[in-house]
Every structure is written in structure tokens, then in C-alpha cells.
């Protein structure tokens, strides 16, 4: 009986060690494409979900409740050839908050012009040091970017190895014919995301991530006043990055994702705290002021 018990324990440990990191849901919208071959889009959805959910992306162990919620969406606008597609690519990721059932947004981004090839008879393949397809490289790039942000939110600069992998993916994909990887492909090219997170000049962006999540949200059930102070400190770090470089892509993404949450957290806070937040947002991202319109006072 004791031997059986030990075998069960070892099996559970192995399963835990191999547990994948992502719980990803994929949606494919093909309404703009005139075709009777709809099965390819179901296959595309299943292939992407299997690629993300069944692959081990790190050496870390994730319990089922620790998995990172992820959504990938493709709104296809054109079928260029039998296996080539164009459309809009969107991706969102959420992080669980300590000692609660709440998850918080980490990243939410839409690429309006994404082109890729997909052959329903072939699985998606990925090698960090070689380019096999724009779809697998694009998804893998964002997943490692997410992992960098995710691990930064638990440990100061904890995402370093994952940002480096994302950088390698981008550098390898630069040599392909697809747009979006090079720094000359526009202000929202994938090149710039990883540059924002790895450039020491913008280190306060990553400090903000840690203070907001680990010292802020994760501490809300323990000490709300101190947790709010940490979140306010995070927003001040974002402000510092903005003062070094205005309209940095990563700072805008941070505020776009977080300000509805900030409005809810600081709703019952003292007016002085609200005013500080209002002034930061007014300087860094005035387009987001409607989310905290009541924080400005009379």
C-alpha cells in the first residue's frame, strides 16, 4: 500500500512539472472571406490552440490554477492564395491575483495588418533560432513577451530570460519577407515591444509592473492602503518613463489595460490620491482621462 502511495505521489509530481503555462482560447472570424471551404478555419483554430496549450514554453512548473489565461483572435480579411491569409491579429493575457479569484489584464494588443501562411495538413512548428512561419513565430514572440511581463510581475526583473527569447525570435524573423519585425516597419512593429522592455533607459517600466502587481494587487487583501500606495508608485514610474520618451508603445499599452482597474481600486480612496493619478494620466495618456474623469475634482 505504501509503495502504491509513493507511485501516485511521483506521478502527480511529474504531471505538475510538465504542466503547460497557458490556457488559451482562439477565435477565427472568416466572414469577410468568400469560400465554401469553411473547415480550414476550424482546423486553424484547433491548430493554434494545440500549439499554445500543449507546448511547454518554460522550465517552470505551473499548477492548473496558475495557468495564464490567454485569448488570440484572427479577423481574416483576405485569402491571398490557397495557404496565405491577411487580417487583424489580437492577443490578450491575464494574470491571477494572489489570494483571490480575480485575474488582471497584463497585455491587450491588436495588429491591424497581419499576414501569414497556414496549411491545414501541416502542424505549426517553432524553433527559436530559425524562421518556419510568420504565424508560429508571431504567436511565439508574443507568448515569450507575455512570459517576460508575467514573471516581472512576480519578481523584480524576473522576465529577463523570456524577453531575450522574444528578442531572438524577432531578430531571426527580420530576415523573412514578412512586415512587422523590423524597426523600420513602423512605430508599432514587434521590434519596438521587446526593445521597450529590454532597454535599460526604460527600466522603470518593469519596476512599475512589479510594484503594481506584486506589491499592489497581490497585497490588496492584506493592506489596501499600502497596496494603493504601491500602485500609485507604479504609475509614477510610468510617468518617469514617459518623461524620458513620450508616447512609448509599452507605456501606452500599460495604461490602456490598467486604467479601468485603477478607477475601481481608487474609487473609495482619498481625493489627494485620485488627484495624483489624474495628473499622471493627464500628462502621460490624456486619451484615457475619461476612464478616471471623476478623479480630477472640481
Find the radius of gyration of the CA atoms of the chain: 21
Please give the pLDDT value at position 298: 53
Closest CA to 41 of 55, 49, 92, 131: 49
- Domain ranges for the chain: 19-166, 203-298
pLDDT range class, residue 16, cuts 50, 70, 90: very low
Q: Measure the CA–CA gap between 188 and 244, rounded to whole angstroms.
A: 19
Please give the pLDDT value at position 62: 86
Q: Which residue has the cell 533560432?
A: 129
pLDDT range class, residue 18, cuts 50, 70, 90: low
pLDDT: is 12 or 211 the higher one?
A: 211
Amino acid at each position: 500500500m505504501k509503495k502504491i502511495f509513493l507511485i501516485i505521489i511521483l506521478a502527480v509530481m511529474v504531471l505538475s512539472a510538465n504542466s503547460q503555462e497557458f490556457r488559451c482560447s482562439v477565435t477565427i472570424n472568416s466572414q469577410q472571406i468568400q469560400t465554401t471551404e469553411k473547415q480550414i478555419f476550424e482546423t486553424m483554430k484547433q491548430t493554434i490552440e494545440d500549439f499554445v496549450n500543449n507546448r511547454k514554453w518554460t522550465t517552470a512548473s505551473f499548477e492548473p490554477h496558475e495557468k495564464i489565461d490567454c485569448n488570440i483572435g484572427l479577423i481574416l480579411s483576405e485569402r491571398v492564395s490557397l495557404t496565405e491569409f491577411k487580417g487583424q491579429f489580437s492577443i490578450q493575457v491575464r494574470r491571477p491575483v494572489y489570494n483571490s479569484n480575480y485575474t488582471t489584464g497584463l497585455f491587450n494588443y491588436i495588429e491591424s495588418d497581419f499576414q501569414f501562411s497556414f496549411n491545414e495538413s501541416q502542424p505549426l512548428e517553432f524553433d527559436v533560432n530559425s524562421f518556419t512561419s510568420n504565424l508560429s513565430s508571431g504567436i511565439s514572440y508574443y507568448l515569450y513577451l507575455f512570459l517576460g511581463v508575467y514573471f516581472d510581475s512576480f519578481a523584480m526583473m524576473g522576465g529577463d530570460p523570456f524577453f531575450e527569447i522574444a528578442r531572438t525570435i524577432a531578430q531571426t524573423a527580420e530576415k523573412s519577407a514578412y512586415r512587422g519585425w523590423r524597426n523600420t516597419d513602423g512605430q508599432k512593429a514587434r521590434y519596438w515591444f521587446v526593445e521597450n522592455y529590454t532597454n535599460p533607459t526604460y527600466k522603470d517600466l518593469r519596476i512599475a509592473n512589479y510594484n503594481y502587481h506584486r506589491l499592489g494587487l497581490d497585497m490588496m487583501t492584506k493592506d489596501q492602503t499600502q497596496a494603493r500606495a504601491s500602485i500609485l508608485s507604479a504609475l509614477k514610474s510610468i510617468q518617469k518613463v514617459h518623461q524620458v520618451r513620450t508616447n512609448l508603445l509599452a507605456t501606452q499599452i500599460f495604461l490602456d489595460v490598467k486604467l479601468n482597474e485603477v478607477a475601481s481600486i481608487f474609487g473609495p480612496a482619498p481625493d489627494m490620491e485620485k488627484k495624483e493619478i489624474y495628473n499622471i494620466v493627464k500628462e502621460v495618456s490624456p486619451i484615457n482621462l475619461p476612464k478616471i474623469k471623476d478623479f480630477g475634482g472640481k
